[in-house]
Chains A and B, each alone.
Chain A
């Protein structure tokens, strides 16, 4: 509410300022008149009055979403009991009649499948990490591993939508949109919320623009898709035959013409539009500078791995995420597809881990060496977990795992989280034994790290106040350093 009033006030001020400006400036060519702070800094400063609600620990978020749901049982949640009971049915006392997806609901048996991978214990917390994630294991002392996440959805679309928007269905704003709305951008030349997509070779589930939608918030809070290729933002590049100086010339002419129009109509929106063209022009310079990875030193390429120079890979996106974040982008959202291993899991997960392990760990190391990890919250995880029993045929060295919303693992790093291992599952890795964390709790905690009270960051639409955490969620204080 407070926030709405601020935005309202801001739009008033902007109108007043613009109409004053027009009187003072007279015939100056507006096109070449850069007023960089009009919609960048000064606007944002006005927006953040009263926000954050309390001192933030983190200023920015990078969310490495593992789309399709990685198997916690093969990566983080080590359960030797499953190996001992290999092939035996999941006891009904453990399953407790929980609903299953249509893919395994008709199975007569639920044979337990222990992981084929070796686990080691790492770091001060002696955290279990699979041999598939050696790089992740090397940064374990920076990680806060949450083994007791749970969600309510059992299918990809609703589960992913739930993680991103706090609701399984409906056109609600994404987490990044909420932060853009609450805190704005730190960089006047870049959007507050950027989105990067990549794909692994494993069984994939699509992503969709709804996941980075602004919902009922203003569309400036929508996630803007970036890539590390030649055209990093849609429609950013000037057409063939036009260079930067030409563009400047054209914008100067446009400015002169639009000013004539303003004299006739006195509509402040005319000047607002001129400013958007100027910001577009600045983005044309700023974005390629940031997305250009060709000047990264050898050490960085080595850190992230050679894939980081191949546009569209997870490694390239991690590097780009660091650069965007470093330049003040509030929320960088990555999606990496390919974790939906209903069959052939041991094989598929190897490929997926090769794609993401080194670059995920590199991002932590890189942020740390730049002194940015303290103020950047990095999140790694999928939309749910995978079952401890096998989907399809269980063989000696292969199995598949169905969706499992009851318990799974994600990790966070930097941004004021407390490193260590939080929460436990039972010996079957099926139910949560200690310290459950619901998706709403996760959102509430992430917002708290950013200095926002999840109950106060609201927006009124269709007659009610909406929040990222809907009507629930509590901050998990034990996760905060």
Chain B
């Protein structure tokens, strides 16, 4: 009996020990983890001079690899950087804990700053415990972990919740209850489709008391073709999609059929492995069809110069660098571009590795310059020509009313491989050693028996189940879409300098599960939105803020302002103005006067902004024309990407300029007026009208107090319009949508003002 108890104790001890190995985070813990505790310190403070970059290495000392870190020091006779178990004999510890500026590390000249006391203590402990190195977590293929034990099983709805709840319980946090139905529906609808729920949807959901009511709504949202539009927006950032060439004269280009394909691919639930394969190498697939070739436009969305006098090769190289960066940041989640000029300073990527990756993209037929703006064409070689018959068969998803041909810039391979050289300092005209196409060895070996040395091989390597990055990186991007921040906060950097995952086991579980289930994106999305973690109310409290100010441990639901495009969508949709056409050429809605003209060289068809009329004014935000040199101003104000280069994460700011847009943008004013007109046509009281507008915009029934404040404001404004202290005619003139002159102008204007106020509520454009 006693023996069993003892064994039990040992088992518990082992379990605790193992657990703390995985999640240890500081000197307070028993076991210090190299990956989670030590490497972030070394990477930030030491690797710049003692890391992978051989050219910048000082004192011949390399600390990012155990084998070299344990060698006798070359510059200090008899000394060792690391003596396992003996911090006092380890030069690292002696120097980081020294107060002598001529001896201490990092040196004052490095401007890196000294280690904190806690960091020094952590280093000490790690050395005491044997100074064990581990392979970087993100460069090791994920394994599906077992689900952790939790106390409050009743709260758990699916696997995700085991991981998040275990963390919360460990941190002394309690999860929130589920959000109320109205707010949950708004959240899910905005997250899945980018649009607020319709009144009908709200009513249905409120009435439905069945156990799977929420699931039914989620399925309905996932089946809507607005899902593809929502999901595409993030991918358009990754792909730096725009409607112009960028650079000086910034003329128009036609890449939008590719944008329509992305929407189609998400709606069709094309598995992510195929989604990526087609974009990397659709043209090289056996019997490639035009849809697969179109997908490769992903790598041709970068800027393209039409400035007279450029040196073509300089720009051709620039375009390949851009492709390499986009692949690295957007798909692999690493900062491979740092190795363009020198070996990477933090990650084990050599400059040679960079150009070996670059070589995959270097074999395309494109040239650096096809003439200046006077010879501008809508696409650059190699081209995909899409004709009428393509659009009535395989490519029905392309929305184009004309019968003419469309041309899109796509990828195309040279018959004889172009040689690739390491470019000294990354400069186009300084080639040195030749390299062959090869993917980053530190991530995963590129077995040429399995993978040909072309983009098709690269695609297969990328979506191999043994690739440690691809699934993790994508799952993380999707997580970010729903929670506002990734499990790895540095979405584009899973390397040594990136943030560590807040829930490493969850990330791995999701990544492996995703691959095991055929890279099924809709399934992943459903998994996330069905979890209790996602469904929690967004309420916070002083205590939660104190314990976890950034909500890293997810003890309440996500609450943040929706992205730029969806602010516009919400305004148009709730007012009934939204035109739900999917895809097609981008449109030019209202924009403050003179912006394009002021910045233009005067050349090219985009020198002046020609605002469109009618339906073009009411399309979703993602269809607003993006001229790279002058991106749509209201979008930029709400943190939309400027599409200059691959972007995987938008910032979330709160500025006075955003307030000015919501108060004065003609789109918001027009939407308020049109919604007022519609409601005036209904045979209801002003109270009812205000209540309905509130519900359409905020997506919940207004509380009595809220509606009373708005009614008070309405009465006040009505009085002022009647007394002519303010001008109803001028107020109602907002926007081009026809006015309804049969209505009482004063009452309509007063209702419009109340609605404007609702649009400006903090909660209106917030995911709550």
Contacts and interface: CB of A to CB of B under 8 A. Distances in A.
Contact of A283 (B248, B250, B656): B656
B492 A462 contact: yes
Interface stretch (A118-126, A136-144, A217-225, A295-303): A217-225
Interface of B: 111-113, 246-250, 305, 307-312, 318, 329, 335, 338, 345-347, 369, 429, 490, 492-493, 495-498, 538-542, 545, 549, 559-560, 592-595, 598-602, 628-631, 633-634, 636-637, 639, 642, 644-645, 647, 651, 653-661, 663-666, 669, 703, 705-706, 709-710, 712-713, 716, 720, 726-734, 749, 753, 756-757, 760-763, 768
B636 A264 contact: no
Contact of B644 (A171, A246, A260): A171
Contacts of B338: 463-464
A169 B706 CA distance: 50
8 contacts: A208-B630, A231-B593, A249-B713, A250-B753, A274-B762, A280-B663, A403-B309, A462-B497
B651 A218 contact: yes
A274 B539 CA distance: 18
B639 A219 contact: yes
Contacts of B346: 463-464
A46 interface: no
Given A103-B309, A249-B716, A210 B111 contact: no
B309 A242 contact: no
Contacts of B111: 1, 455-456, 458
Given A103-B309, A265-B538, A283-B660, 15 more contacts: A99-B429, A104-B309, A171-B642, A206-B599, A209-B642, A218-B653, A220-B653, A227-B598, A235-B663, A241-B732, A250-B753, A266-B545, A273-B659, A279-B659, A283-B656
Interface stretch (A109-117, A251-259, A357-365): A251-259
Contacts of A456: 111
Nearest to B329: A462
Contacts of A236: 660, 664
Contacts of B248: 156-157, 205-206
Contacts of A204: 601-602
A233 B660 contact: yes
Contacts of A227: 594, 598
Contacts of B347: 463
Contacts of A260: 703, 705-706
Contacts of A402: 309
Given A254-B760, A265-B559, A277 B659 contact: yes
Given A12-B549, A265-B559, A265-B768, A206 B250 contact: yes
B335 A464 contact: yes
A234 B309 contact: no
Given A1-B113, A19-B545, A253-B757, A280 B601 contact: no
A253 B710 contact: yes
For A253, A277, A463, A464, the residue with the greatest tally of chain B CB atoms inside 10 Å of its CB is: A463
B539 A265 contact: yes
B664 A235 contact: yes
A240 B655 contact: no
B731 A239 contact: yes
Given A234-B592, A241-B731, A272-B654, A2 B113 contact: yes
B247 A207 contact: no
Contacts of A218: 651, 653
A96 to B, nearest CB: 15
A240 B600 contact: no
Given A19-B545, A206-B248, A220 B601 contact: no
Nearest to B661: A235
B549 A15 contact: yes
Nearest to A460: B497
A210 B642 contact: yes
B634 A235 contact: yes
Given A205-B601, A265-B559, A269-B654, A463 B660 contact: no
B611 to A, nearest CB: 15
A239 B664 contact: yes
Contacts of B763: 258, 261
A277 B492 CA distance: 33
A226 to B, nearest CB: 11
B749 A241 contact: yes
A267 interface: yes
Contacts of B761: 254, 257-258, 261
Given A241-B727, A258-B761, A267-B538, A276 B709 contact: no
A250 B713 contact: yes
A464 B644 contact: no
A463 B498 CA distance: 6
Contacts of A235: 592, 634, 637, 657, 660-661, 663-665
A209 B654 contact: no
Contact of A276 (B496, B560, B593, B656): B656
A15 B545 contact: yes
Contacts of A32: none
Nearest to B539: A265
A240 B493 contact: no
B247 A209 contact: no
B316 to A, nearest CB: 13
A227 B631 CA distance: 18
A197 interface: yes
Contact of A242 (B549, B645, B716, B726): B726
A212 to B, nearest CB: 10
A176 B664 CA distance: 27
A305 interface: no
For B347, B592, B639, B733, the residue with the greatest tally of chain A CB atoms inside 10 Å of its CB is: B592
A351 to B, nearest CB: 15
B252 to A, nearest CB: 14
Nearest to A12: B549
A155 B310 contact: yes
Nearest to A101: B309
A107 to B, nearest CB: 12
B599 A257 contact: no
Interface in A71-118: 99, 101-105
Given A197-B598, A242-B731, A253-B713, A267 B559 contact: yes
A128 interface: no
B757 A209 contact: no
Contacts of A455: 111
Contacts of A464: 335, 338, 345-346, 497
A233 B496 CA distance: 42
A243 interface: yes
Contacts of A253: 709-710, 712-713, 757
Contacts of A220: 653, 655
Given A207-B599, A462-B492, A273 B656 contact: no
A240 to B, nearest CB: 4
Contact of A264 (B249, B539, B593, B710): B539
Contact of B726 (A234, A241, A273): A241
A268 interface: yes
B597 to A, nearest CB: 9
A383 B581 CA distance: 44
Nearest to B345: A464
A171 B338 CA distance: 14
A148 interface: no
A249 B760 CA distance: 13
A237 interface: yes
Interface in A9-36: 12, 15, 19
A235 B734 CA distance: 14
A170 B303 CA distance: 11
Nearest to B307: A155
B599 A276 contact: no
A206 to B, nearest CB: 4
Nearest to B541: A266
Nearest to A189: B656
A210 B651 CA distance: 16
A102 B367 CA distance: 15
Given A204-B602, A253-B709, A266-B541, A240 B727 contact: yes
